[in-house]
Amino acid sequence: MTAVHTPAAAGSASADFRSAARSSVDVSAERVSTVVTAVLQGVHEVIRAHDVTYPEFQAAKQWLMDLGEGGEWPLFLDVFAEHVVEEVAARTQDGTKGSILGPYYLPDQKELPSVCTLPMRPDEQGTPLVFSGQVKDLARLPLAGAQLEIWHADSEGYYSGFAPDIPAGNLRGVVTTDSEGRFEITTVQPAPYQIPTDGPTGRLIGAAGWHPWRPAHLHLIVRAEGHRPITTQLYFAGGEHVDSDVAEAVKPELVLTPVDQCAVYDFVLEPA
């Protein structure tokens, strides 16, 4: 079993979420009423069906307050709800399968050429990994100048920007494909990690007897002019927790099978 690592992400994730969400979407009162009513009816039904008691109700209220005060709403929703939002979005999407963004995204990372090494520490630990492939359109024609925004945990399960001893931008970058839409990125194999367990999200997981682990993965946002961007994650065949991801985000189409520390994956983007 991989050693326990708990990236202290909640505070930073909340700050980034607030910054990104300041320009809210325009939603009609009818839409708000429809969705909120459905959510409340679902809560009411759970209370009735499971005979929720007043002490349990009060404990739930306290936990919800702790979740907000601890800045963990983005973490909780990313882990337990985002995969369903992504599933709904995928109904109208062709091309490469999407997956969740997760709480560890940071914008404005270093721009890199099509053949590159991700920024890393001089003594970066971990198994080398060369990740290559091609970005294409639905007709399987190459998309020159496409961008792959890539980030992932280090060999101990920590993300730069969310662990104090890792340099900013470590194992993060924005890679631009060549004239044939190709890329080749040298990095290190990420480790599985457990989501933070020292706050209210972790207390819920422990109380329910669940495990808090996510399998090792690469995060990617792939963009090309005139095409719909895709946010996804790529996992590793045979890796720990691939079959039991706490965030339920693994899809068979997104599992890599590296050979001699090399992994290949092609991305297909649909028109915008």
| Domains annotated on the chain, with CATH | 1-272 (2.60.130.10)
- pLDDT for the residue numbered 22: 52
- The residues pairing with 115 across neighbouring beta strands, listed in sequence order, are 184
Tokens at 121, concatenated: 């520490």
pTM, entire model: 0.83
Radius of gyration of the chain (CA): 20
- pLDDT for the residue numbered 171: 98
Please give the chain's pLDDT, 272 residues, in tens: 343 444 444 344 445 545 555 556 788 999 999 999 999 999 999 999 999 999 999 999 999 999 999 999 988 998 899 999 989 988 988 999 999 998 899 999 999 999 999 999 999 999 999 999 999 999 999 999 999 999 999 999 999 999 999 999 999 999 999 999 999 999 999 999 998 889 999 999 999 999 999 999 999 999 999 999 999 999 999 999 999 999 999 999 999 999 999 999 999 999 99
d(CA 257, CA 149): 21
| Percent of the chain with pLDDT strictly greater than 70 | 91
